[in-house]
Amino acid sequence: MASNYEGYKSPLSTRYASKEMQFLFSDQNKFSTWRRLWVWLAKAESRLGLEISDAQIAEMELQISNIDFEAAAAEERLTRHDVMAHVHVFAKQCPSAAPVIHLGATSCYVGDNTDLIVLRDALKLLLPRVASVIARLSQFAQSYKDQPTLGFTHLQPAQLTTVGKRACLWIQDLIMDERALSRCLEDLRFRGVKGTTGTQASFLQLFNGDGEKVKQLDLLVTELAGFKKAYAVTGQTYSRKVDVEIVAALASLGTTIHKMCSDLRILASRKELEEPFESTQIGSSAMPYKRNPMRSERCCALARHLITLFSSAANTHATQWLERTLDDSANRRLTLSEAFLAADAALLTLLNISQGLVVYPKVIERHISQELPFMSTENIIMAMVKAGGDRQVCHEKIRVLSQEAGAQVKQHGKDNDLVERVRKDPYFSPILEQLDTILDAKTFTGRASDQVGEFVKEEVDPVLARYSDALKNVQDVKLNI
């Protein structure tokens, strides 16, 4: 007998994604949903006058979760058709209902409608995860809204910002992702009961040309499936544009996660901020001292995979000819599941990170002290002018001292001593008592602290209010691997 370790297994299922998301894309969920769809169709057809008994429906309902996967696989090897294989197995389990199973339907009735149900449930699972990350980062931002830190442009030191303000940039992107995913969920519809090419011709025959009953059938099944609306027109499938929009939103989430976790990796290399690091965790097999940002690196890796999946969904929609071609099938089995599983895994890891971020203010202050003297030169000049100095003379004095201090840093690897040079130069004696105030880092952060409070109140809190119940039950995430 072959070992369980001799066949390929997706790391998304063995290492990364949650059990809940894995279940949504499982065979058990897929094929039991097919059976529910056959039950809903039979119920609706019965209500509208077709000869389908309550006993037949009850017989089908008893077998919804009782799937003989081995028998279905054997049937599919014979028929080369997955839907008919499951129709045959279901019919054997429900002999009295066999004549009415899949009545009037095409394969996409169960295939596409199941996909839409899974997409809906997967979006509902992801959105509270996004909100949970936003909530934790919001707490972090408010805790560190006043902590000055070097801002960077071009990855070079720029004007100061605060640790909390920087976190708001990450949150803002996540809010945009929440909006996009919510919109996907709100816009999502059911394929419904449309027939082989979307014309409902088979159902029109079943109801002897009564178009109103066919419309009612579509509406009833849509309601039984828990959707408010069905797509008004379809080909054999619902438009693969729907997949494009959803995977685009997930890929966009991937860009957010990658950007944020890249920032965290940069800050970790500067020892200003760290992700959680467990007491027994090993950073390197060769270098015991290392504290690698492996969680952020994992997020970036998963996010890159997620981003690439957009092109797959887009190309699949672009190549659907006329009412449909089957070259979408194998692609969608991979793309849709992996997009949600990767997003789920990345969000869980990101939540774990956000629940345990560690800031090192003393390191941040040391880095500020290396750059702030240069940034403060304009303020020193203004103070000297107010004390009666000549702006041009002062500018030249500061320029010379700055060059000398810069040489100490770049050529000799020493600390920035510009402030000491200013203190020792008699020219600046009128403002020496003001230097500490002039060099207070908090005076260089502008409205960053106020912006954090305003942003959280105006932009973050309204989003989190929609998830208040879900956020009450959020627990600390423990990564298995």
| The token pair that represents 231 in the structure block | 């797509």
Lowest mean pLDDT of 219-228, 252-261, 395-404, name the range. 395-404
CA-only gyration radius of the chain, Å: 31
pLDDT at res. 30: 96
Query: Which sign, positive or negative, has the C-alpha torsion 251, 252, 253, 255?
Result: positive
Mean pLDDT across the chain: 91
How confident is residue 299, by pLDDT bands cut at 50, 70 and 90? very high
For the chain, the helix, strand and coil percentages under 3-state DSSP, each to the nearest 5: 70, 5, 30
Residue 39 lies in a domain: yes
Residues 94, 117 share a domain: no
* CATH number for the domain that contains residue 403: 1.10.40.30
Closest to 112 in 3D by CA, of 14, 196, 15, 13: 196
**Positions of E strands within 170-312:** 273-274
The mean per-residue pLDDT over the stretch 123-140 comes to 96
Contact (Cβ atoms closer than 8 angstroms) between residue 230 and residue 189: yes
Residues 63 and 140 grouped into a single domain = no
Closest CA to 297 of 16, 18, 9, 22: 16
434 and 466 within one domain: no
Q: Would you place residue 135 in the very low, low, confident or very high pLDDT band (cuts 50, 70, 90)?
A: very high
Q: At what angle do helices 82-93 and 107-143 cross, to 10 degrees?
A: 100
**Would you say residue 277 has pLDDT above 80?**
no
Quickly count: other Cβ atoms within 10 Å of residue 459's Cβ.
15
Whole-Å CA distances, 25 to 17, 78, 122, 335, 337 = 11, 25, 9, 12, 6
Phi and psi, residue 348, nearest 5°: -65, -40
* Same domain (yes/no): 273, 124: yes
The answer on 172 and 298 residing in a single domain is yes
pLDDT at 302 over 60: yes
For residue range 206-217, what is the model confidence (pLDDT) as tens digits? 999 999 999 999
274 phi and psi angles, rounded to 5 deg = -135, 150
- Is the pLDDT at 142 greater than 90? The verdict is yes
Contact between 335 and 251 under an 8 Å Cβ cutoff? The reply is no
Give the lowest-confidence range in 104-118, 186-200, 202-216, 435-449.
Answer: 435-449
The residue among 422, 385, 391 whose CA lies nearest residue 404 is 422
pLDDT tens-digit series, residues 367-384: 998 888 878 888 888 888
What are the φ and ψ backbone dihedral angles of 454, each rounded to 5 degrees? -65, -40
- E strands, 368-458, are none
Task: Indicate the number of domains in the chain.
Answer: 3
In the predicted structure, residue 285 carries a pLDDT above the cut 60: no
Q: Which residue has the tokens 């972090």?
A: 140
- Region 441-460: mean pLDDT is 94
Residue pLDDT, tens place only, 421-433: 888 888 888 888 8
In a domain, 66, yes or no: yes
Domain contains 162: yes
In a domain, 116, yes or no: yes
Q: Residue 160: in which H helix or E strand, if any?
A: strand 156-162
pTM: 0.89
Query: Residue 147: its pLDDT value, please?
Result: 96
Could you tell me the two tokens for 175?
């809010």
Domain boundary among 68, 100, 132: 100
Decide: helix, strand or coil at residue 127.
helix
Hey, what are 171's tokens? 């949150």
pLDDT tier at 435, thresholds 50, 70, 90: confident
Q: Are 258 and 308 in contact (CB under 8 A)?
A: no
Residue 271's φ and ψ, nearest 5 degrees, are 60, 25
Which DSSP letter does residue 431 get?
Answer: G
* Tens of pLDDT, residues 74-90: 999 998 888 999 999 99
* 316 vs 243: CA distance, rounded Å: 9
* Residue 445 domain flag: no
Q: Would you tell me how many other CB atoms lie within 10 Å of the CB of residue 473?
A: 8
- State pLDDT tens for residues 145-163: 999 999 999 998 888 999 9
User: Which strand (E) or helix (H) includes residue 367?
Assistant: helix 361-375
Please report the pLDDT score of residue 481 as a whole number: 63
Phi-psi region of 276 (alpha: psi -120 to 50; beta: other; left: phi over 0): beta
Final residue in a domain of this structure, among 75, 100, 125: 100
Q: Is the pLDDT at 183 greater than 90, yes or no?
A: yes
The answer on 388 and 254 residing in a single domain is no
pLDDT category at 127 given cuts 50, 70, 90 is very high
Q: What pLDDT is attached to residue 278? A: 60
- Beta-carbon contacts of 197 under 8 Å, excluding residues fewer than 6 positions away, are 235, 236, 323
Whether 283 has a pLDDT exceeding 70, the answer reads no
Is residue 189 predicted with pLDDT exceeding 90? yes
Residue 2 has a pLDDT of 56
285 or 52, greater pLDDT: 52
Q: What CATH number does residue 67 fall under?
A: 1.10.275.10
Nearest to 72 by CA among 37, 115, 28, 108: 28
Tell me the average pLDDT across 389-398: 90
CA–CA separation, 186 vs 245, rounded Å? Answer: 12
Claim to verify: residue 198 and residue 308 sit in the same structural domain: yes
Q: Is 16 helix (H, G, I), strand (E, B) or coil?
A: helix
Residues 6+ apart with CB under 8 A from 21: 122, 125, 340, 341, 344
Q: Indicate the SS3 state at residue 151.
A: strand
- Residue 326 sits in the same domain as residue 272: yes
What pLDDT score does 136 carry? 96
Instruction: Show which residues are catalytic.
Output: 154, 284
Domain around 212: 111-277+289-360+460-472
